[in-house]
Structure 1
Amino acid sequence: MRAGSRRLPALLRLTTFERAATSTPRCRLRLHDNPDSRPLSAPPCSHPRGPQSGPRLPVWKNRCLRSWNNCAAGRLFGPCTDCLRRCEGQHVWPADKCGPKRKRLMTTQPDWDAIRDLSQRVLREGAPLVLTEDTRALLHRTADEVAIPDATSALQSDDGALALLRECSHRISEGSNRLMDALDRMYRHQDAGNYEDARKEMRDVLSVEVVPYYREAAQGQLDDMADTP
Structure 2
Amino acid sequence: MNSDDWRRVIDLGLALAGGAELPQDPELPALLRRMAPQVGMPSADAEAALRDAPGAVALVREIHRRTRDGSYRLSRAFTASDALKESGDTAGARKVLEEAMATEVVPLYRAQLQAYLDHVDDLDET
**Bucket of the pairwise TM-score, normalised by the shorter protein:** 0.7 to 0.9
Instruction: Verify the 8 A CA contact 1:110 1:145 in the aligned structure 2.
Output: no
| Aligned twin of 2:52 | 157
The aligned runs of 1:5-20 (5 Å cut-off) are none
Relative to the length of structure 2, the TM-score reads 0.86
Instruction: Verify the 8 A CA contact 2:90 2:121 in the aligned structure 1.
Output: no
SS, match of residue 137 in structure 1? helix
Say which structure is richer in helix.
2
SS, match of residue 127 in structure 1? coil
Superposition deviation, residue 189 in structure 1: 0.8
| Aligned twin of 1:138 | 31
Superposition deviation, residue 226 in structure 1: 4.5
The CA deviation string for residues 177-197 of structure 1, in whole angstroms up to 9 with x for no partner, is 111111111110111121111
Gaps of 5+ in 1: 1-108
* Runs of 4+ that moved beyond 6 A: none
Matched pairs, number: 119
The aligned runs of 1:1-229 (5 Å cut-off) are 111=3, 112-121=6-15, 123-149=16-42, 150=44, 151-227=46-122
Relative to the length of structure 1, the TM-score reads 0.49
Between the two proteins, what is the percent identity of the paired residues?
36
Q: Which has the higher contact order (CA 8 A, sep 6+)?
A: 2
Instruction: Verify the 8 A CA contact 2:13 2:61 in the aligned structure 1.
Output: yes
Instruction: Verify the 8 A CA contact 1:175 1:209 in the aligned structure 2.
Output: yes
Residues 189, 226 of structure 1: CA spacing in aligned structure 2 closer, same or farther, 3 A cutoff? closer
Q: Whose Rg is larger?
A: 1
The CA deviation string for residues 25-60 of structure 1, in whole angstroms up to 9 with x for no partner, is xxxxxxxxxxxxxxxxxxxxxxxxxxxxxxxxxxxx
The CA deviation string for residues 195-214 of structure 1, in whole angstroms up to 9 with x for no partner, is 11111111001111111011
Residues 204, 173 of structure 1: CA spacing in aligned structure 2 closer, same or farther, 3 A cutoff? same
Separation in 2, partners of 1:194, 1:226: 10
Gaps of 5+ in 2: none
Superposition deviation, residue 148 in structure 1: 1.1
